[in-house]
Structure 1
Amino acid sequence: MNAQELLLTRQSTPRLTAPAPDERQLKIILDAAARVPDHGGLTPWEFIIARDEGLERLAAIYVEAAQAQGADEDLLRKARGMPFRAPMVITVVAKTQVHPKVPVIEQEIAAGCATMAMQQAAFALGLGGVWRTGDFAFDPLVKQRLGLTPADQIVGFLYLGTPAVKAPIKATKDGSVFARYL
């Protein structure tokens, strides 16, 4: 798959199964993230990888956060199962800092670019992925249990694995309808 095809056929792969990326594939995925635009070379990101027992720990964090929110049994069951939608979940965190030339928003966007680069690298390797956020990305208890500071922002949870089914290619969008010239 060439770069143009990769970019123009990108889509989420919500039904994922084992195997997860192996160590070689994971290194490529993480290295792709580290190559994104990064004004000032601040590397304003952290990648928290959950697989195997890590998925169990992430599930426990979600359940604890859901309980703290007063969730009923159905929501607790849903929270418990969320990390197991894929054999690997990478929590992408924007770890921003005050900088005289690099606003926080640029640092958060860089972390978002890292997430997109990881997903694209996974696709290029024949894997699937879906970038999710949801309430837990903004939950203070989840952040605390992941060892994050209040200033850190979870950009998303990148679910990675092997596509369970071949997803149909979505219709192409004409990007020019969103553009205008000055």
Structure 2
Amino acid sequence: MDAIDLLVNRHSCNQLSAPAPSGQVLDNIINAGLRAPDHGGLTPWRFIISEGEGLNTLSHYFRDAAFNLGKAEKDVLKATNAPFRAPQIITVIARIETHPKIPESEQLMSAGCVVMAMQMAAQAQGFNGIWRTGWFAYNDHIKQKLELEEKDEIVGFLYLGTPDVSCKKIRQLNTDNFVTRMDS
């Protein structure tokens, strides 16, 4: 699959099973993320890879956070089960720092580019995934359990694995609806 084909046919898949990326394939995914645009070379990203027992730990964090928020029993159960949608989750964290020339928003956008690059690298190597956030990404209990610093932000949970189904192609969009041309 060439790069243009990969990018214009990008799609997420939410039905994933083992195996998850590992070894050189996982290294490629991480390295693709590390090549994201990065104004000033701040590398404002960190990763937590959860698989096996790590998914159980993440499940406990999600469950406790839902319970602490007073969510309904069905929602606590949904939160408890969320990490088991895939055999691997990479939590991508924007490690924001105060910088005189590089706004926090640029650091956050850079971390978002990391997630996209990692998902594309997974797909290019025969895996797939889905980028999720939801309330989990903004919850103080989860941030504390993951030992994030005060200014850190969870940009997303990248669920990765082997597609269980043929993932639906995304709808084609008409570029004219999104482009304004400024010709001379």
What interval of TM-score do these two structures reach, taking the shorter chain for normalisation? over 0.9
Task: Tell me which residue corresponds to 1:76.
Answer: 76
Q: Is the 8 A contact 2:11 2:168 kept in 1?
A: no
Q: Is the 8 A contact 2:39 2:106 kept in 1?
A: yes
Task: Tell me which residue corresponds to 1:148.
Answer: 148
Q: Deviations over 1:46-74 (max 9, x none)?
A: 11110000000000000110111012221
- In structure 1, give the amino acid aligned to 2:73: E
Task: Give the secondary structure class of the aligned counterpart of 1:143.
Answer: helix
Q: Is the 8 A contact 1:140 1:150 kept in 2?
A: no
> What is the distance in 2 between the residues matched to 1:53 and 1:38?
33
Task: Tell me which residue corresponds to 1:96.
Answer: 96
> What is the distance in 2 between the residues matched to 1:103 and 1:168?
37
> What is the distance in 2 between the residues matched to 1:175 and 1:24?
36
Task: Tell me which residue corresponds to 2:37.
Answer: 37
> What is the distance in 2 between the residues matched to 1:78 and 1:168?
24
Quick check: 1:174 aligned with 2:174? yes
Task: Give the secondary structure class of the aligned counterpart of 1:61.
Answer: helix
What percentage of residue pairs aligned between the two structures are identical?
48
- In structure 2, give the amino acid aligned to 1:111: A
> What is the distance in 2 between the residues matched to 1:2 and 1:41?
28
Q: How many residues are treated as equivalent by the alignment?
A: 182
> What is the distance in 1 between the residues matched to 2:162 and 2:136?
24
- Which aligned runs of 4 or more in structure 1 are off by greater than 4 angstroms? none
> 1:47-126 counterparts in 2 under 5 A?
47-126=47-126
Deviation larger for 42-51 or 171-180: 171-180
Q: Is the 8 A contact 1:32 1:114 kept in 2?
A: yes
Task: Give the secondary structure class of the aligned counterpart of 1:59.
Answer: helix
Deviation larger for 64-73 or 135-144: 64-73
- What TM-score do you get using the length of structure 1 for normalisation? 0.97
Task: Give the secondary structure class of the aligned counterpart of 1:131.
Answer: strand
> What is the distance in 2 between the residues matched to 1:131 and 1:52?
19
RMSD (Å) for aligned C-alpha atoms: 0.9
Residue ranges of structure 2 left out of the alignment (5+ in a row): none
- What TM-score do you get using the length of structure 2 for normalisation? 0.96
Q: Is the 8 A contact 1:8 1:172 kept in 2?
A: no
> What is the distance in 2 between the residues matched to 1:168 and 1:131?
16
Task: Tell me which residue corresponds to 1:21.
Answer: 21
How far residue 42 of structure 1 moved from its aligned partner, in angstroms, is 0.3
